[in-house]
Amino acid sequence: MQHEPSGATDAEIASHTSPARARLELFVVGLGALVVSLAQSLLIPVLGELPQDLHTSASTISWLLTSTLLVAAVSVPIMGRLGDMFGKRLLLLVAVGALVVGSLLTAVTSNVGLLIAGRAIQGASSAAIPLGISLLAGLLPRERVGSAVALISAMLGVGGALGLPLAGFVAERADFHALFWITAAVGAVAFLGILTIVPESPNRSGGRVDMVGAVILAAGLVALLLPLSQSSSWGWDSPRVWGLLALSALLIVLFGWTQTRIADPLVDLKALRRKPIILANLASILFGFALFASFIGTAAYVEAPEQSGYGFGSSLLVGGLAMLPGGLMMLVFSPVAARLIARRGGPQTLAIGAVAVALGFAGRMSVHDHLWQVIVGSTVIGIGTGIGYAALPSIINANTPVHELGSANGLNSLFRSLGSSLASAIGGSLLAGSVIHLGAFALPSLTAYRELFALCGIAAVLAALVALAIPHRRTV
């Protein structure tokens, strides 16, 4: 049975949230979101060196990313629902605490099994961003919510863009364990800040935890995302890939059936059937696809040797720095996005962001003779993604009761992760399907990169069309 939210009015919120206090709350929640996003991308630049350093195979090392992805996919929607039921601040602390514990474990060991376990624990921290958005949306005065949500959303790209050059810098000067000491320290500061500064949201629904639904959903998501993440090593003709995809379809149908027959469902399917929510989640898949493809198509692109016909022979550090301007522009443009949302609404703002992403990928396809041109194209993509990521939670919040925000934003984040997983699987197949050979090395061809960028541009155009079909509501 769903309970009515306790519902704090703007006047009640303002009585204990001064402007200075609101800025401090936003800072510590934003710091938590930043370090969680940072942790997700830190290992990407150093993956190639880890098999030799840890004396294991590349397929085993890939589980350092896969374990994080799978746990994140399972934990984000479940922790979002638990946040609605028992308190968004409480579950935000659990998420940031998982980052600290996972980081400490990975910082003190070189055992591959323990490293994978630590990365899996870190995966639970992915819920921090949708939980932070939902907490601030119900806690801050209404006039501050738009800019706060835009800033927290921007951390998705900022953390990823910062993680790549940071990892490159550390890889050239220290052992990879230093990366995890950094996330552990920053995560601990964010945890203490949230614990001591941020109050609990007054909007809680209560109810019982649907354990059966949680298990079925977890199994369905693992069966869906595991073959996508391992498709490059297993091959698309592998029975395991198609067997798991078929199993995921059955489990997701079973999950939907169970959710219509219990009093306290894990996912409110009636809410998911609202047209704005359906279209916003579809746009999230498309945006998640475009952003992740930009990551895999920039650092490795500029690090490729000049003989490839497109690369610049850059170092790990320079390859990461090529992503940095795009990430910083996501941060710079977050207040711009908030003003656009206030004036034009979330759907039109989402469409503007999608068009910018499409233009950025068009530039990446056609203009790439100099490093600065690649950086400009990636920066335009970052600006568009930042605007789009700010608009998506505003659409979710405008069409969701405040006591369901955690679940709704968690599911939206899950759809974005699904888009990233599709980008990894499809993009990896495209890049592996057309290669050039330079001595003992095989690199993706320029044609393969152009095909990937074209696919991303098409995804961005589709996201714009989806956005324009979303009904506009100004109220939160």
What integer pLDDT is reported at residue 196 of this predicted model?
93
The structure tokens listed for 333 are 């443009």
Q: How confident is the model at residue 27 (pLDDT cuts 50, 70, 90)?
A: very high
pLDDT tens-digit map of 66-116: 888 888 888 888 898 888 888 899 999 999 999 999 999 999 999 999 999
pLDDT tens-digit map of 57-67: 877 887 888 88
* Kind plus residue range of the DSSP H or E element containing 435: strand 435-438
Residue 46 · residue 165 · CB < 8 Å:
no
Query: ∠ CA 4-5-8 to the nearest 5 degrees?
Result: 140
Q: Delimit the domains of the chain by residue range.
A: 10-210+262-468, 213-261
CATH code: domain 10-210+262-468 is 1.20.1250.20
What integer pLDDT is reported at residue 76 of this predicted model?
87
d(CA 365, CA 367): 6
Question: Helix (H, G, I), strand (E, B), or coil: what is residue 438?
Answer: strand
Global pTM value: 0.81
pLDDT tens-digit map of 128-147: 989 998 898 888 887 888 88
pLDDT tens-digit map of 357-370: 999 999 999 888 89
d(CA 85, CA 276): 23
